[in-house]
Amino acid sequence: MKQDKFLTVFAVFDDETQQKLKALQNRVLSLGYAGTQTMGIPFHISLGSFKVEDEQELIVRIKEVCSQHSEFDINLNKVNHFNNRVLFIEPSENKDLRGLHELFDNNFADGFPWHAHATIFCGNEKQVIEAKQCLNDIFVPIKAKVVGIQMGEFFPTRMIIEEKLCQ
């Protein structure tokens, strides 16, 4: 069941990866679709979602995790989708990412199983199918770096904390 208000903890990418993912998103948006994806936040991989009441506990956990874990590389290898509604870039399996997810493994927001992904566009079936074809024509795998953990409250969007992983 989808919740109206929740917290999400997510792994964020380095600036170069942010630029590459933004270019892909801009290509999709150039098709004339606005989409329903959350704009104005960094591209990321969600690690878990939580009740808003968990905010202070999560802030402490994020700071602790970031002080004990290092930045890591990840390969963003393919364009994929959820039911032709959410278009995303999918990473290859990565033990470091899985380890972070296990530290924040909770799914309060929607109850779906965790599937690592970086959302590019959300829309109706026709829009996502067209956007996927557009990206498939230009996509090349991206060697990315996960550099930090952030937490935000949704909806409306409120960014709460951004912590860097150790270098």
Q: Assess if residue 21 is contained within a domain.
A: yes
Q: Assess if residue 36 is contained within a domain.
A: yes
pTM: 0.94
Please give the tally of structural domains in the chain.
1
Q: Assess if residue 99 is contained within a domain.
A: yes
Q: Which domain holds residue 112?
A: 6-164
Q: Assess if residue 1 is contained within a domain.
A: no
pLDDT for 112:
83
Q: Assess if residue 137 is contained within a domain.
A: yes
Q: Assess if residue 94 is contained within a domain.
A: yes
Q: Assess if residue 79 is contained within a domain.
A: yes
Q: Assess if residue 154 is contained within a domain.
A: yes
Q: What span, in angstroms and rounded, lies between the C-alpha atoms of 136 and 107?
A: 30
Q: What is the CATH number of the domain that holds 30?
A: 3.90.1140.10
pLDDT digits (tens, 9 = 90+) for 97-153: 999 999 999 888 887 889 999 999 999 999 999 999 999 999 999 999 999 999 999
Given CA atoms 57, 60, 66, 67 in this order, what sign does their dihedral have?
Answer: negative
CA distances from 38 to 11, 57, 118, 119, 123 (A): 16, 25, 12, 9, 12
Closest alpha carbon to 161 in 10, 3, 6: 10
Q: If you average pLDDT over residues 13-21, what whole number do you get?
A: 98
